[in-house]
A and B are shown apart, each in its own frame.
Chain A
Amino acid sequence: MTTPIAYFLVVSAALFTIGTVGVMVRRNALVIFMSVELQLNGVNLALVAFSRLHGNLTGQVLTFFSMVVAAAEVVVGLAIIVYVFRRRRTANVDDLAVLRW
């Protein structure tokens, strides 16, 4: 008895939406970062679900890539956030709006 694909997709969509809203409304860079991770995981879940549905490993392989890239991105991103915090004593992205017209 397999779980219907819809369940997975609902969870996946919920994760992605929570992540997107988080990116849009939160101000702390760390939280925005975590929200981005939620989005990624939502997508990963969808990939794995479809992979199982179709009996095709491509989606799972892609998920591994996505996780590796996400890990690498976190390393770089966190380093930047830590460095910015040290310099500016803040992690609020609204205060970091210097690259503008």
Chain B
Amino acid sequence: MTEAVWLVPALPLLGFVVNLFAGRRLGRAAGWLGTLAVGAAAAIAVAVGLDVLAQPAEERTTVVHLFDWIRAGAFTVNVDLRVDQLSVLMILVVTVVGALIHLYAIGYMEGDPRFGRFFAYLNLFVFFMLLLVLAENLLVLYVGWEGVGLCSYLLIGFWFERTAAANAAKKAFVTTRIGDTFMLVGIALVFLRLGSLDLSTVLDPAIEGVQPSGVFTVIALLLFGGAIGKSAQVPLHVWLPDAMEGPTPVSALIHAATMVTAGVYLVVRTHLFFEISGVALIVVLVVGLVTALYAALSALGQDDIKRVLAYSTVSQLGFMFMAAGMRAYSVAMFMLAAHACYKALLFLSAGSVMHGTHDETDLKRMGGLRRRMPWTAGVAVLGALSLAGVFGLAGYFAKDEILVVASETGRTAVWLLGTLGALLSALYIGRLVFLTFLGDARSAEAEHAHESPTVMLVPLVVLAVGAVGLGVLMLDPDTGLVPTFLEPVLGAVPHGSAGVGSAALIVISQVVALGGLGVTWLAYASGRVDWLALRLRAAPLQRFLSQGMHVDDVYASVVVAPAKAGSAFLAYVVDARLVDGIVNAVGRLVQGLAGVGRRVQTGLVRTYALAFLVGALALLVYVGVRA
């Protein structure tokens, strides 16, 4: 069965091709076709997963050779698929969550004039994402990496008639491209210094002695540069909130569940480089921590339901990088899977709310939707509780374990700031849920909301099951199913004896999560606090947070404005005056010379005859003198 793993990416690719050419004629069937392609891929992924499980723990890595791609001297690139514990987990997340979101999109995108095109792009995205996680060769991984970036661009700008959507697509593409450039340089360095791009070769622990550790630091940091761009970490996070201009299923699939987690996957996959370097791990930890806090704070100030979730995603990705930075790779991977469930669930719930309220996204104009949309409200609350880390839900086992690792290994500052991040998470997600579903309707749209069709509710319910129950795979960091499964590839979760006891940690995390939710309930749903007045009094702070702490403005004045001024200088001064001046001067010089030279051509036979004679005599004299 493992040999058939090529079918997993091939089926979505087939779906893409069919939908691209026949999508318009297929009508609504295009959506079912796209869903079926990814669903079948999910079934095969499950079969591959079972096949891998059936092997003994140490023999679970298989490399399936598809075809040779590049052969140029020592530089060979083969398209091989790497099936091991890590990639199996990733393809399961991608295909299962992907299939559910495809199903949901059939209802959500109903009536869109480019319905078939949408599913073509979604399928193409799934193909590239699977190629990314299955790649055995770093260059093939990079192809997938750029492919998902392309699909992200196409899908953010899917409603390109809207200027905001077209601009957001461009911004996402250009910003992630900055990171991608670092990554490409990193990959080149891997080949130059380590002599191969195959993961089996370069991720061999014996590679450590090949080069000084400084080389590994540079490689790891360059690869992490790509991860920062793709996973929207500070300072390249600015594209993700704007990416919410895309259709909501896109936000759920690409900008919550899969593509943005590619950075986490990359760091976890190449963790050997980071470990040899040591410094790089600290960088990962710090970037993750800063991002987690910054984005959680910014999420508090957002009024657009999707932008809250976007900043929340950035923050949660920061938590994943924190886990990776503390060598708790399997915790990062479990959080990736759990986050894929509960964040996709929350995004799809937000989409369901928008579907029911004529595309209302402003939290201020919602309220009371629990009565009109009981199913959506129910699953969204479950997703929110999971995200906030309430005991027993998937999010708890993920986030709590990260904090436990931080505390146990003596990183007290990380633990404290991480706990603060968890508190902020509870606050923003509580605010979102309470403003949307509790209280009274604050607009006509909310008043007349309607529940979404079954085709949208089924994926929501399935994802809710995941968001609640996925924790059974991670009951314990040592004996849980996911950590033991991943241990041969990623190593064990680090332990220590520092910090407070584990029971105390659970109590603290629950006080933080429930306390945060309680405060937001008091503020937004109990009716005892006039939150609109409070908001007016804190207007400058609110504006500061809603603008994402003005990072965009800083970039606009520090990077964009000087770049534009430089371009204008080059275009209108250097090019127009200097370059064109040189070219025109050369032209004028030739013209001037020709104006003199053409006088030679008199048209008179005698002139030519004379020139002929003089030439002949000159030749004669020359020959005579030489002799």
Seen from chain A, the residues whose Cβ lies within 8 Å of a Cβ on chain B are 20, 23-24, 32, 93-94, 96-101
Q: Which of B133-141, B149-157, B594-602 contacts the other chain? A: B594-602
Q: In the complex where A24-B609, A24-B610 touch, is A101 in contact with B599 (Cβ < 8 A)?
A: yes
- Taking CB as reference atom, which chain A residue is nearest B612? A23
Do A100 and B605 touch across chains, with their CB atoms under 8 A apart? no
Do B602 and A96 touch across chains, with their CB atoms under 8 A apart? no
Do B604 and A97 touch across chains, with their CB atoms under 8 A apart? yes
* Chain B interface size range: 10 to 19
Closest 3 CB pairs of A and B: A100-B603, A97-B603, A101-B598
State in angstroms the CA–CA spacing of A98 and B603 once bound together: 6
List the count of A-B residue pairs having beta carbons below 8 Å apart.
Answer: 31
Do B609 and A100 touch across chains, with their CB atoms under 8 A apart? no
- Taking CB as reference atom, which chain B residue is nearest A93? B605
Do B606 and A99 touch across chains, with their CB atoms under 8 A apart? no
A97-B602, A97-B603, A97-B605 known; 17 other A-B pairs, CB under 8 Å? Answer: A23-B606, A23-B609, A24-B609, A24-B610, A32-B605, A93-B604, A93-B605, A93-B606, A94-B604, A94-B606, A96-B603, A96-B605, A98-B603, A100-B601, A100-B603, A101-B599, A101-B601
- Point out the residues of chain A lying under 8 angstroms from B604, CB to CB: 93-94, 97, 100
- Taking CB as reference atom, which chain B residue is nearest A26? B606
Write the nearest CB–CB distance from A15 to chain B, whole angstroms.
16
Interface of A is mostly: helix
State in angstroms the CA–CA spacing of A70 and B610 once bound together: 21
Q: Which interface residue of B602, B605, B609, B610 has the most chain A CB atoms within 10 A?
A: B605
Write the nearest CB–CB distance from A69 to chain B, whole angstroms.
17
State in angstroms the CA–CA spacing of A89 and B603 once bound together: 19
- Point out the residues of chain A lying under 8 angstroms from B609, CB to CB: 23-24
What are 16 A-B pairs with beta-carbon distances under 8 A?
A24-B606, A24-B609, A24-B610, A24-B613, A93-B604, A93-B605, A94-B606, A96-B603, A96-B605, A97-B603, A99-B601, A100-B601, A100-B602, A101-B598, A101-B601, A101-B602
- Taking CB as reference atom, which chain B residue is nearest A98? B603
State in angstroms the CA–CA spacing of A97 and B605 once bound together: 8
Write the nearest CB–CB distance from A16 to chain B, whole angstroms.
11
B613's contact among A20, A32, A96, A99, by CB below 8 Å, is which?
A20
- Point out the residues of chain A lying under 8 angstroms from B598, CB to CB: 101
- Taking CB as reference atom, which chain A residue is nearest B613? A20
- Point out the residues of chain A lying under 8 angstroms from B602, CB to CB: 97, 100-101
Write the nearest CB–CB distance from A100 to chain B, whole angstroms.
3
- Point out the residues of chain B lying under 8 angstroms from A100, CB to CB: 601-604
- Taking CB as reference atom, which chain A residue is nearest B605? A93
